[in-house]
Structure 1
Amino acid sequence: MSAMLRLLLRVLGLWRARRGWLLAGAVVAGLAALAGIALLALAGRGVSEGLQNSALTAGAVGSLLLLRPLILVRPLARYLERLVTHSATFRALTDTRIWFFRRLAERLPAGLGLRGAGDLLGRIVSDVEALDGLYLRALVPGAAAVAVVLALAVMLGAAGPGLAAVVALPLAAALLLPPLLAPAAGRAAARVAEAQGQLRVAAVDPLLGLEDTLAANGEARATDRLMRAGDALAQQQKALARRAAWSGASGLVLSQAALFGALGYGLAGGEGAVAGSVLGLFLALGAGEVLAAVPRAGTALAAASAGARRLFEAADTAPPVPEPAVPVAPPTGHAVRVEGVHFSWAPDRAPVFNGLSLELPEGGRLALLGPSGSGKSTLATLLLKLAAPQEGRITLGGTDLASLSGAAVRSRIACLTQDARLFDDSIAANLRLADPAATDAALWQALERAGVAEVVRALPEGLQTGCGEGGARFSGGQGRRLALARALLAPAALLILDEPAGGLDPLAERAFLETLESATQGRSVILITHRLLGVEKPTRILRLVGGRAIPAMG
């Protein structure tokens, strides 16, 4: 229980910026519930006074007349409750998703790596959505139920302490069901959340590699895996549903106990107790409606804690490159120097670099050659401070990268990767990833330098043309040029071009590299490639061999 409580308190900490909305929703929910209790209290008073007298007394008539405004107040209060509580929830969940995305960006800067896309999709969608139960199905109903039980105890206490005891105590006991049932339900909910993650992985992975799946005739195996994951999820959901059913049944028994207590009080107390018994019956009925949601709060707490555990598990992963406690000011220059760098992706893996040293002066153009697996892209990762060497150091403008913030480094160094992605948004939005404040004129200038401006001008919507998922709207060469325009738009003085023409046919590759050569004039450039075509004009050529850089002629 303590672990669950810590998780849920941490979630509430993420929502502290929305505490005004969250508190307002709980208050409105309490007032709506109290309006319902007041409505039934007045009805019960009118009926009990009518029972005591053959004709309606003035008090009974007054009680009935007071029902009129409450009949209108209650639905309005319920509407306002839904409006405020859901608005609060949507805001809180939005904050949670933004927080989670930022944490992932800090911890997975080089990509998803070993974390599956399906698993992370489940965490940022379903696990975040499970948190709405913490507020909408646990805290809000709980606040309303507490307000109702207290009000009921006060009103019935005025009619008789015994009546208050037999009616209010069972309802108060119902308030204890969520914390009592939540730990066991939490374990069941954790198994459900894990099974949901496995199902998403089984569904998304074959789709991401659909061509390979079909080429290997793997549809049957993928379908079988998906079915087994679905069956496993169904079994875990049934177990959780059984616990929810027992919780609901327990709450119903306690509500019925309150009703029977009111009836027994009237039967055992004689004629004078009838009025109080009728009032108790009406109030118990009204409270039963509010408390009906309380037993299910335990399941909601369990689901929220399971979702929170999975979120924090991913979000608390140690970042690959910790930020310095006190970052130094960015240097004025951008010359790069790599000194005796040793690097391996994991302790049990072979080293990628074993004493790598090289330098690139300002304005220099370095071509870095080597076969696949020689460490070319790893060097780009180190220069962008997406990973850190185990030994040695890398300096930018004479300043050690370890003492600079990652944002400062990446503001000075831009990278065009081999698989640079165009997102399913407009051309303008894709370009402005590099410079959100860039004007349309700056976008057109970047497109001109990348040799793709005429293509964009010919489109009916121009800069507002959608690129499609993965840039599907454009050919491979056009997509590479748009990605180049984005890199050129960045104010960085150093460009890393990692296999920039990869995947293009020979003619498109040569044309693209010619454009690249002219477009990057005036900047320092590191061209990472497995071969040179002759159109490049590097000032220095190095080849990566055995984790070191040696001079090469091509």
Structure 2
Amino acid sequence: MRQALIQTDLIRVLGLWRARRGWLLGGAAMAVLAALAGVALLALAGRGVSEGLRSGALTGAAVGSLLLLRPLMALRPGARYLERLVTHSATFRALADTRIWFFRRLAERLPAGLGLRGAGDLLGRLVSDVEALDGLYLRALVPGAAAIAVVLAVSVLLGAAGPALAAIVALPLALALLLPPLLAPGAARAAARVAKARGGLRAAAVDPLLGLEDTLAANAEPRAAARLEEAGRALAETQDRLSRRSAWGGASGGLLAQAALLGALGYGLAGGPGAVGATIIGLFLALAAGEVLAALPRAGTALAAAGASARRLFDAADTPAPVAEPASPAEAPRGHALRAEGVRFAWAPDRAPVFEDLSFELPEGGRLALLGPSGAGKSTLASLLLKLAAPQEGRLTLGGVDLAALPADAVRARIACLTQDARLFDDSIAANLRLAAPEADDAALWRALERAGVADVVRALPEGLGTRCGEGGARFSGGQGRRLALARALLAPADILILDEPGAGLDPSAERAFLETLESATEGRSVILIAHRLLGVERPTRILRLVGGRALPAMG
């Protein structure tokens, strides 16, 4: 069962690499050419030596064989160089495609955040597990193609010299070809443990660092270090077991290569003087094949490691999307009036509903304030409106069209959100702003910064729009970072803007100033303001309070 699953996963990986098949096939072809050049080189050398021994002098055949060595001696290293160049280039491109595919799958399936999946674990899958897939091509498929070509060439060449010699030499070489599939099942179990332990180590290292302030404040660094040490020890133990299996495979391949050499030698000893020439050619060809087959037994371990890593990738990538895309999407509506009709929603079947019978309207250009304490469902409503989640009952409509009938990207093009923990990435201010509008020119960026009330701050910076924000926007104060995030939201060509606790984390004066900026900056758009309370500067056209899963008119 496990072996069948590995095969399915590896075939699926190859399917992800279809766009790079030209590079992949080219690299395999170069590997075959280099291997066959080595066989031809030693075959001609063996023929030259055998002719010299048979006649006691350099005959025309011997001289001809030796003369052909010159171009082959130049061809072989050239082919080897091109093989490394093409195979590694093909691998880098294929792995880059895999990372992009995996990232997109995660974006589709974890739109509301990592949730129960740890950042360290997903980082391990995106980096380590994707990198482990290079073994499928570089250490399994490419050596396998070269080995098959070499065994066939040796069989053909020795068959011309003597069928018995061909059978004696080619049989152990052919058995070496069977080592990878024979060794793969056992190695797969060990490789799965290695992949799991590697993910555990990554999580043990990354998770405490992501919450370093809390770790230090709780004096938890000794416990974090102990957890990291334990994870490292577990990984070392699993890697040791996998290495032992790989070593056994290498030893088995070496024994079979030696068996081919001994078979050729035994043929010569038993065949009498006439068999000396064929024996020498057989020895040389066995040496050539042994060099190519030396790495082949480890291909089983490489296949197992790649299969285990592929399983971890697909396990995360195949998580069902929280909101399915419509099979036949509706046409985008002209208007953008928003309406909730009897919405019922719970995050899980065993959890209490967040909304029981939620209904409200937001006309075009309206400004709706939704108030309520923590846990009332304010942020949940933002997730529903952005199609990060879907109601179990009732419906949400945009311009009269059910959101369920619209693609998620179409909805998010019409509805933008400024979250309470809007993140600035460790990139330039311009790059952070252009997340909302990749084609926006500098003039548009400055207009958004002006409307957000932070343009003067950016102008005062030596590098202006090119200033890096630092991880999490560490370069700026909380109020400045929030205004930069607002400028990014304002760049989006959305008709509706959701402001989820926009003043969270700011001191009272900064919060009031920011909310006053919002009033003017969002003019001309429909606005949903989600907050615990109002300060009196927001001026909404309607105020609702979330109580018991319903939206009720605010009193007083």
Please give the range of the TM-score, normalised by the shorter of the 2 chains: over 0.9
Of residues 402-411 and 208-217 in structure 1, the stretch that sits farther from structure 2 once superposed is: 208-217
- Kindly provide the amino acid, as one letter, of the partner of residue 45 in structure 2: A
Query: Deviation string for 1:362-385 (max 9, x for gaps)?
Result: 100011111111100000000001
Residue among 89, 103, 106 paired with 1:104: 106
Partner of 1:258: 260
Alignment-derived partner of residue 187 in structure 1: 189
Deviation of 1:69 (Å): 1.3
| Match of residue 470 from structure 1 | 472
Is 1:87 the counterpart of 2:89 in the alignment? yes
Query: Whole-Å Cα distance in 2 between the matches of residues 465 and 145 of structure 1?
Result: 54
Q: Which piece of structure 1 moves more, 127-136 or 58-67?
A: 58-67
Q: CA RMSD in A?
A: 0.8
Structure 1, 174-183 or 227-236: larger mean CA deviation:
227-236
- Paired letter, 2:148: V
Match of 2:502 in 1: 500
> 1:358 is matched with which residue?
360
CA distance in 2, matches of 1:485, 1:502: 17
Q: Distance in 1 between matches of 2:518 and 2:501?
A: 12
Please list the CA deviations of residues 167-226 of structure 1 after superposition, one character each: whole Å capped at 9, or x if unmatched: 111011100000111011011100110111111111111111111111111111111111
Q: What CA distance in whole angstroms lies between the structure 2 residues aligned with 1:385 and 1:302?
A: 39
Alignment of 1:142 onto 2:151: no
The CA distance in 2 between the partners of 1:436 and 1:214, in whole Å, is: 39
Superposition map of 1:331-342 within 5 A: 331-342=333-344
The answer for the alignment partner of 2:275 in structure 1 is: 273
Q: Which residue of 1 aligns with 2:417?
A: 415
* Matched ranges for 1:320-339 at <5 A: 320-339=322-341
Deviation at 1:312, TM superposition (A): 0.4
| Aligned equivalents of 1:219, 1:256: Cα separation in 2 | 54
Paired amino acid for 1:423 = F
How far off is 1:234 after superposition?
1.3
Range moving further from structure 2, 258-267 or 219-228: 219-228
Give the 3-state SS of the residue equivalent to 1:76 in structure 2: helix
**CA offsets 1:235-285 (integer angstroms, 9 cap, x no match):** 111111111111101100100000001100110100110111111111111
Tell me if 1:373 matches 2:360.
no
Q: Deviations over 1:424-455 (max 9, x none)?
A: 11111111110111111111111110011111
For residue 416 of structure 1, what is the amino acid of its counterpart? Answer: L
* Alignment pair present for 1:402 and 2:409: no
CA distance in 2, matches of 1:318, 1:409: 20
How far residue 36 of structure 1 moved from its aligned partner, in angstroms, is 0.8
Residue in 1 that maps onto 2:47 = 45
- 1:231 counterpart residue number: 233
Residue 115 of structure 1 is matched in structure 2 by 117
What CA distance in whole angstroms lies between the structure 2 residues aligned with 1:497 and 1:180?
59
Q: Secondary structure at the match of 2:545?
A: strand
Q: Does 1:521 align with 2:523?
A: yes
**What is the distance in 2 between the residues matched to 1:168 and 1:324?**
58
- 1:293 and 2:298 matched: no
Match of 2:347 in 1: 345
SS of alignment partner, residue 294 of structure 1: coil
Structure 1 counterpart of 2:384, one-letter code: L
1:457 partnered with 2:459: yes
TM-score normalised by the chain length of structure 1: 0.99
Between the aligned partners of 1:237 and 1:198, the Cα distance in structure 2 is 14
- 2:318 equivalent to 1:316: yes
- One-letter amino acid of the counterpart of residue 481, structure 1: R
2:134 & 2:271 partners in 1: Cα distance? 46
- Specify every segment of 5 or more residues in structure 1 that has no aligned partner in the other structure, as ranges: none
Other-structure match for 2:15:
13
Q: Which residue in the other structure is 1:538 paired with?
A: 540
SS in structure 1 of the partner of residue 297 of structure 2: helix
Residues in 2 aligned to 1:73 and 1:353: alpha-carbon distance in whole angstroms: 73
Distance 1:222 1:471 in 2: 26
Q: Distance in 2 between matches of 1:232 and 1:54?
A: 63
Deviation at 1:553, TM superposition (A): 4.6
- Counterpart amino acid of 2:50? S
Residue 469 of structure 2 aligns to which amino acid in structure 1?
C
Q: Identity of aligned pairs, percent?
A: 81
Displacement of 1:358: 0.9
| Equivalent residues in 2 for 1:116-135, closer than 5 Å | 116-135=118-137
Structure-2 separation of matches of 1:130 and 1:77: 26
Q: Provide the residue aligned with 1:387 in structure 2.
A: 389
Match of residue 212 from structure 1:
214
- For 2:534 and 2:191, how far apart are their aligned partners in 1? 56
Find the residue that maps to 1:320 and give its secondary structure.
coil
**Total equivalences in the alignment:** 554
| Match of residue 172 from structure 1 | 174
Matches within 5 A, 1:418-433: 418-433=420-435
**Aligned counterpart in structure 2 of residue 26 of structure 1, from 25, 28, 32:** 28
Deviation digits for residues 37-74 of structure 1, max 9, x if unmatched? Answer: 11111111111111112211111111111111111111
> Which secondary structure does the structure 2 equivalent of 1:64 belong to?
helix
* Residue 303 (structure 1) aligns with: 305
Deviation at residue 468 of structure 1 after TM alignment: 1.2
C-alpha distance in 2, partners of 1:356/1:132? 51
**Counterparts of 1:199 and 1:374 in 2: how far apart (Å)?**
37
Q: Quick one: which of 471, 486, 489 aligns to 1:487?
A: 489
Tell me how far apart the structure 2 counterparts of residues 479 and 289 of structure 1 sit (CA, whole Å).
Answer: 60
What displacement does 1:508 show?
1.0
Distance 2:456 2:540 in 1: 28
The CA deviation string for residues 137-186 of structure 1, in whole angstroms up to 9 with x for no partner, is: 00000000001110110001000001101111101110000011101101
The structure 2 residue matched to 1:61, chosen from 52, 60, 63, is: 63
Q: What one-letter code is carried by the residue in structure 2 that aligns with 1:30?
A: V
Give the Cα–Cα distance (whole angstroms) in 2 for the partners of residues 330 and 85 of structure 1. 46
Letter in 1 for 2:509: L
SS at match of 2:357: strand
Letter in 2 for 1:375: G
Is 1:160 the equivalent of 2:162?
yes
Which of 34, 37, 52 aligns to 1:35? It is: 37
In structure 1, how many angstroms separate the alpha carbons of the residues matched to 2:548 and 2:166? 84
For 1:277 and 1:203, the matched residues in 2 are separated by 58
Counterpart CA distance in 1 for 2:484 and 2:270 is 85
Pick the aligned partner of 2:224 from 222, 225, 240: 222
CA distance in 1, matches of 2:354, 2:180: 54
Given residue 358 of structure 1, which amino acid in structure 2 is its aligned partner? Answer: F
Counterpart of 2:118 in structure 1: which amino acid?
A: G
Following the alignment from structure 1 to structure 2, what is the Cα–Cα distance between the partners of residues 167 and 501? 79
C-alpha separation in 2, matches of 1:275 and 1:334: 88
SS in 2 for 1:93: helix
Secondary structure at the aligned position of 1:528 is classed as strand
Counterparts of 1:483 and 1:37, CA distance in 2: 64
How far the C-alpha of 1:349 sits from its partner, in A, is: 1.0
Q: In the alignment, residue 260 of structure 2 is paired with which amino acid? A: A
